[in-house]
Amino acid sequence: MKWNKFRLKTTTEAEDIVSSMLMDLGVQGIEIEDKIPMTQAEKEQMFVDILPETGINDGIAYISFYLEEDEDKESLLEAVKNELEDMRAYVEVGEGTIEESQTEDVDWVNNWKKYFHQFYVDDILIIPSWEEVKPEDEGKMIVHIDPGTAFGTGMHETTQLCIRQLRKYVTEDTRILDVGCGSGILGMLALMFGAKYSVGTDLDPCAIDATYENMEVNGISKDKYEVMIGNIIDDKAVQDKVGYGCYDIVVANILADVLVPLTPVIVNQLKDGGIYVTSGIIEDKEETVKAAVEAAGLTVLEVHHQGEWVSVTARKETKA
């Protein structure tokens, strides 16, 4: 099936009211493109390792919507243009021009598979479900994982930095907390390295199903891990549920802007002598994160770089 795509050029000032108008006219879904910088609060909700580059805000917004090929586009476009003209009396709508194009109906669920193939993190093979393990790899540590709605395949440098640190510090007695767990890959690998138990937290409910699915396909039983949804930084109920002073390792592969408020909180979840592994830190934020770690009373043990990314590993010293 082919779709008609319409891209309306307006202003950031008007994008909300224009979006509302489109929905009122029966448009089922829209896409908004703009260069409005995220607020600090929004950054702190981004439990991912890369922020989108927005560039300098130029006040322009593009709102795209789609119609099936046989839908009455002329009537809708006429109504949209009339509404835009009426809006000019009370809001700056900008050009109000609409570009039209056609796009094929794409199998979005499966189309990305051609871009994701098996790869190694050192001697660990990470492989999607639609590929087969080669005979020469059968003796290696093998992780089966499919990209999905939750972040984390192990391909990104930030995740690989964490994997190496976990391999170094995990023991058979390790209880690990993964903040911003996404697909569950770090907790899963910690268990495969021999850890006793893994707890993951995330803001995205998709993390629960993704973690369950990835753990199951790798043969890890449900009595070895759990996943919780909520913001451990400011939600006391989540902090209580996670527990205090009970983790040998806390790992956080998230943004530096999240690590700064997270660190003085998460120190309470660590055991004395526990290890704190952080990543998702762009190079120019290294000193910021190190300062936050030290301000929380932790001792920096190691700093590692891969590409433009940094991992800082610290320890909570044992009280005298």
Helix or strand run (H / E) with residue 171 = none
pLDDT at 296: 97
**Residue 202 is labelled as binding a ligand:** yes
Question: Does the annotation list 272 as a binding residue?
Answer: no
Query: Would the pTM of this model clear 0.75, i.e. be above it?
Result: no
Q: Find how far residue 305's CA is from the centre of its chain.
A: 20
Confidence class of residue 28 from pLDDT cuts 50, 70 and 90? confident
pLDDT of residue 245: 97
Residues 141/216, Cβ–Cβ less than 8 Å: no
4 phi and psi, to 5 degrees? -90, 125
pLDDT above 60 for 118: yes
57 is in an annotated binding site: no
Using one digit for the tens of pLDDT, what is the confidence trace for 123-156?
A: 999 998 888 999 999 889 999 987 665 567 788 8
Angstrom distance (rounded) from CA 76 to CA 32: 19
Residue 248 marked ligand-binding: no
Higher pLDDT, 173 or 148: 173
* Region of poorest pLDDT, from 13-27, 233-247, 296-310: 13-27
Q: Residue 47: pLDDT band by 50, 70, 90 thresholds?
A: very low
Instruction: From 30, 25, 16, select the one nearest 80 (Cα to Cα).
Output: 25
| Three-state secondary structure call for residue 196 | coil
Return the pLDDT at 48: 46
What is the edge-to-edge ordering of all strands in the sheet holding 225-229?
225-229, 197-202, 175-179, 247-253, 270-282, 309-316, 298-306
The answer to whether residues 99 and 6 touch, using CB atoms and an 8 Å cutoff, is: yes
Residue 49: per-residue pLDDT: 44
Confidence of residue 70 (pLDDT cuts 50, 70, 90): confident
Q: Where are the beta strands (DSSP E) in the chain?
A: 2-11, 30-33, 60-68, 98-104, 119-121, 124-127, 141-144, 175-179, 197-202, 225-229, 247-253, 270-282, 298-306, 309-316
- Average pLDDT on 162-188 reads 96
Q: What percent of the chain has pLDDT over 70?
A: 88
Taking a C-beta distance cutoff of 8 angstroms, is the pair 145, 126 a contact? yes
Domains of the chain: 2-105 (3.30.70.120), 152-316 (3.40.50.150)
Edge-to-edge order in the sheet of strand 2-11: 30-33, 60-68, 2-11, 98-104
Query: What is the CA 15 to chain-centroid distance, rounded?
Result: 26
